[in-house]
Amino acid sequence: MEHLFDQDWEIVPAGGATGEAFFAQYQEQKLFLKRNSSPFLAVLSAEGIVPKLVWTKRIESGDVITAQHWLNGRELDPDEMEEERAARLLKKIHSSRPLLTMLERLGKERFQPEHMLAELETGLDFELLAHPKVREALHFLQTDLPNISHDEYVVCHGDVNHNNWLLSDNNQLYLIDWDGAMIADPAIDIGLLLYWYIPEDNWETWLSQYGVPLTDNLKLRMKWYVVSQTLLSIQWHKGKARFHEMNHWLEYLHSIV
């Protein structure tokens, strides 16, 4: 990575699970670098969803390095997720034809609820399946699968946790970390955001800012995907022997099923 720059540049790892991201700085110039980002990043930048893409370079190894503006800013606080700007940005993402076209060109297939249910039915281990609340949740997913069909498929982020929302010092909001992008029912993103951050009494107000009514069908679809994601989280943390987090999501499951 260092050979892309003059010796005066300081390059340090940016952390993250992949180890493919870096910060580069020289005097007042700051860049965020990533190795082998998807071409999807260019469209996200053009749409103003992520910080501006500065350049893309292919290096001798064949890897492609992308550089984005490194912005001073902060992640959103959990209580800020209720604000209109988060609803409007998520609606902009879900309504973007260029984002959808690019994911389709990259060969991304529509994510169907049947896929998620099949993953759960084959992926939950016997110990978890012996848990009454897990069995109850799985029964709910199986029973209501025919009732959550939806014709509108959009680009979904898949992890709308508040720490993926970046508010720059000039008050520009971005949604970052798009490694889990999918073409799916927008209820995946909406449901997680509402269940995690918005009191149910305020769902209708938040959705009016997003631009859709709170219908019984949307409620069911949101619950279906949130229950699915919660079960996946329980199994994932168990597989990593992260039992404190596993128990947290088991308790959360009790509150939503």
Kindly report, residue by residue over 1-58, the tens digit of the pLDDT: 445 555 677 777 776 555 577 778 777 778 888 876 778 888 999 999 998 888 888 7
- Cα dist. 119→177, 228, 232, 252 in Å? 23, 10, 9, 20
Q: Tell me, yes or no, if 179 is annotated catalytic.
A: no
Average pLDDT over residues 141-167: 95
How confident is the model over 188-215, as pLDDT tens digits?
Answer: 999 999 999 999 999 999 999 999 999 9
Pick the catalytic residue: 144, 159, 177, 179? 159
Domain borders along the chain are 2-70, 75-256
- Would you identify the CATH topology of the domain 75-256? Aminoglycoside 3'-phosphotransferase; Chain: A, domain 2 (3.90.1200)
Inter-residue contact 23 to 33 (CB < 8 Å): yes
Average pLDDT over residues 100-124: 94
As beta bridge partners, residue 64 has 58
User: What is this structure's pTM?
Assistant: 0.87
Residue 198 is inside which H or E element, if any? none
Inter-residue contact 110 to 149 (CB < 8 Å): no
**Candidate from 70-74, 185-189, 219-223, 239-243 with smallest mean pLDDT:** 70-74
Instruction: Give the three-state DSSP class for 26.
Output: strand
Q: Give the CATH number of domain 2-70.
A: 3.30.200.20
Backbone φ and ψ for 237, nearest 5 degrees, come out as -65, -35
